[in-house]
Amino acid sequence: MTERIHILGICGTFMGGIAAIARQAGYRVTGCDANVYPPMSTQLEAQGIELIEGFGAEQIALKPDVFVIGNVVSRGNPLMEEILDRNLPYISGPQWLADTLLRDKWVLGVAGTHGKTTTSSMLAWILEYAGLNPGFLIGGVPQNFGVSARLNPPCPPFAKGGKTSESSGAAATVPPFAKGGSGGISGFFVIEADEYDTAFFDKRSKFVHYHPRTAILNNLEFDHADIFPDLASIETQFHHLVRTVPGNGLLVCNGREDSLQRVLRRGCWTPVEKFGNDEGWNIDADDRVMLNGEPQGTLQWGLLGEHNRMNALAALAAARHVGVPVAQGLAALSGFKNVKRRMEVRGTVNGITVYDDFAHHPTAIGTTVAGLRRKIGKARILAVLEPRSNTMKLGVMKDALPGSLKEADLVFCYCANLGWDARGALAPLGGKALSKDGLDELIEAIAAAAHPGDHVLVMSNGSFGGIHGKLLERLAK
């Protein structure tokens, strides 16, 4: 009989991804959420997943084998309270994923404050290009795949213990674990390893459940001020992750980050390859990739920014650990199409180009603006910001915003529902910053200021009220 799971909080990117790959694995999947709406709702329903609006206690009548709980669910949720009162079986999403679908996989986990989605997408694409057929669960939609999650297709021969071949893309130095076929490895799985907490009943970071054999530590800054009091507490969670990586695995670590060096000094039992400095992987001004000072090839692509060059180094190093030659990794990246909502051009009207970007932390905002500046030269950048993440809403990072936006020519901030004074925070930018409480007012102000040749960079980790389409429509008038 097919096992049935019912997912609470199914319409988030992560839990929706779990639902999709659970369905692919043959589970009967249903789910509920407070807001069931496209695009996630239509994606899930197209896969035969029944969705229920709200968290009504009557859903226990579905009698699943287990309730899978997303971290949007808290005490007081009526369905969760009924589950607890009746002592029904429940488990967090990350733990269910790890125990049920990842146990026999070679997991490649991508952790870091910034770049997890992009680096995971790069890594999955490199493995796909090399013929290794990875499964993946990513917090965005890689345009090379068109979906955010999939279960492994049939695994490559060498992961079963067979010999490698040139066509498979596997290098001569395939890790011993893969060569021997021991441990029941049935394929590769790339996962975005998030440091946010697991569930209301498990306050560890999600990534401690995944037990990666190859782990990328991309960077580490203070974030998630709603759950972490300081940077040191996040470093502790990263060290919990380091403790789970086996001795025959690999840690790919950003060599420029003091915070990550502190994490490693707390104890490390796994080989480490660093990137971003001469100690390991690096890239020069001409995009030539170096490993321990030896040239490996040239990165040829259209992505912007130093952050993406660093993401590429991390992905190349992780892919090499599972047998993909660097030259083949570079060839894959030349065809990498990035992730939706990462400097995605949403349209050009009357010579004005509108971009959508997920940047929501001052560091990410700064690197995104700087990358666009390098691409367009002296053309004007109109930066449009919605401080929507929990950290930004709390105002913890507000003093860093002016510095992150310094390369923009004009700055427009949507300041509705903020607990801090956006106008005061952006005052160091002088007359080039404007804050509005209403979305329509904001769109009118942007449209009035925009001229042919301008680049409007919209940054938010949410839908921003559909501002991109509304702005393009307004500019067309």
CATH of the domain at 465: 3.90.190.20
Q: What is the pTM of this model?
A: 0.78
Query: What is the Cα–Cα distance from 237 to 222, expressed in whole angstroms?
Result: 12
Judgement on whether residues 119 and 202 belong to the same structural domain of the protein: yes
**Is 190 in the same domain as 216?**
yes
Is 99 part of any domain?
Answer: no
Shared domain for 231 and 311, answered yes or no, is: yes
- SS3 for 228? coil
- Regarding whether 288 and 366 lie in a shared domain, the answer is no
Q: What is the pLDDT at residue 2?
A: 66
Q: How many domains does the chain have?
A: 3
Q: Same domain, yes or no, for 63 and 149?
A: no
Residue that is last in its domain, among 333, 365, 381: 333
Q: What is the DSSP letter of 206?
A: G
Instruction: Report pLDDT for 176.
Output: 44
Where the chain has pLDDT below 70, the residues are 1-2, 37-39, 153-184, 224-226, 340, 360, 389-395
Does residue 216 share a domain with residue 174? yes
Q: Which of 38, 66, 93 finishes a domain?
A: 93
For 52, list phi and psi in degrees, rounded to 5.
-125, 130
Q: Which two tokens stand for residue 439?
A: 């979305």
pLDDT of residue 462: 73
Domain extent, residue 47, equals 4-93
- What does the pLDDT read at residue 390? 65
For residue 338, report the phi and psi dihedrals to the nearest 5 degrees: 70, -175
Instruction: Let me know: does 457 contact 357? Beta carbons within 8 Å.
Output: yes
For 322, list phi and psi in degrees, rounded to 5.
Answer: -100, 15
Three-state DSSP class for residue 217: strand
Lookup result for tokens 């925009």? 450
pLDDT at 1: 53
Specify the pLDDT at position 155.
47
Q: What is the pLDDT of residue 130?
A: 95
**Residues 108, 114: Cα–Cα separation, whole Å:** 17
Check residue 165 and give left, alpha or beta (phi > 0: left; psi -120 to 50: alpha): beta
Same domain? For 351 and 314 the reply is no
In the chain the first and final C-alpha atoms are separated, in Å, by: 59
Report the run of H or E that residue 119 belongs to, with start and end: helix 116-129
Check whether residue 184 and residue 243 sit in a common domain.
yes
Whether the ω angle into residue 428 lies within 30 degrees of 0, i.e. cis, is no
DSSP strands (E only) in 172-256: 188-192, 197-199, 202-205, 214-217, 250-254
Domain-embedded: residue 46: yes
**pLDDT tens per residue across span 138-174:** 987 888 888 889 997 644 444 433 333 333 333 334 4
Residues 55 and 175 in one domain: no
- Domain identity same for 288 and 401: no
Residue 256 domain-assigned (yes or no): yes
What is the pLDDT at residue 429? 86
Same domain (yes/no): 286, 415? no
For residue 386, how many other CB atoms are within 10 A of its CB? 24
DSSP letter assigned to residue 222: -
CATH of the domain at 195: 3.40.1190.10
